[in-house]
Amino acid sequence: MKIHEYQGKEIFRRSGVAVPQGFVANTPQEAAEAFKKLGGPIAVVKAQIHAGGRGKGTLKEIPAQRGVQLVKSAEEAAKVAEALIGNTLVTIQTGEEGKKVNQVLVEAGCNIDRELYLGIVVDRTAKGPVFMVSPDGGMNIEEVAEHTPDRIFYEKFDVDTGLLGYQARKLATTLGLKGKSIGTAEKFFRALAKMFVTYDCSMVEINPLVVTKEGELLALDAKVTFDDNATFRHPDLAELRDLTEEEPAEVRAAQSGLS
């Protein structure tokens, strides 16, 4: 089961994983109000669909419009939201058919110093969850894995003890973090590992994970997938499901008790 970025970030926030402030908008007017609420000079309007590559993705109806755009006023936020909502975004992950955008996330801008990659997956070979990090964030991680696999680093952790302090610091050092950022990263990584286990996730990905000029870590993205076999333990997650993003045949099969 997949959820939207804004939903993943709310779970991050509740779990102690730092994210930028943001508001969901279903109309251009709501996007303008969100920009005003954030109160900063810049914000980012992000299409909400179950697919990655939105920043490079384009609308079928308006090829010049990207799925993620920086804005500097409430009027500009409304204009971008009007272009996105109701139209079809095509990314490297959606295929040519694309996905319809029904809502956007209007998020506060931040002072980015570095962009990193972070993911957690269940590794059957390792028989447990594994952290994956790379200093090459903001890129297609598939390309990094194919062309420079030595730039991706792994750390297995135990589901009962979680990610230990020394493991988190090792990952932070591997990423080239220094000073204040190491302590911030330790708290961030351990909180994310705990969330992964608590919610029975099958995959969590943050690309990019940014280090701000102030030395803080922020999840600028949130891709979260839950293990379908464990959703009975989390009835509260059912309301996060967006059936319009799922394959209709799969939805009908699940309703009939079929795989």
CA distance 17 to 7: 13
Residue 133 exposed, middle or buried by CB count within 10 Å (0-12, 13-18, 19+): buried
Residue 122 exposed, middle or buried by CB count within 10 Å (0-12, 13-18, 19+): middle
Residues pairing with 10 in the sheet: none
And the tokens for 114?
């570095």
92 within 8 A of 53, measured Cβ to Cβ: yes
Cα torsion angle, 238, 101, 106, 214, sign: positive
Catalytic, out of 117, 155, 186, 199: 117
Residue 205 catalytic?
yes
SS3 252: helix
Residue 246 catalytic?
no
Which residues are marked as active site?
117, 205
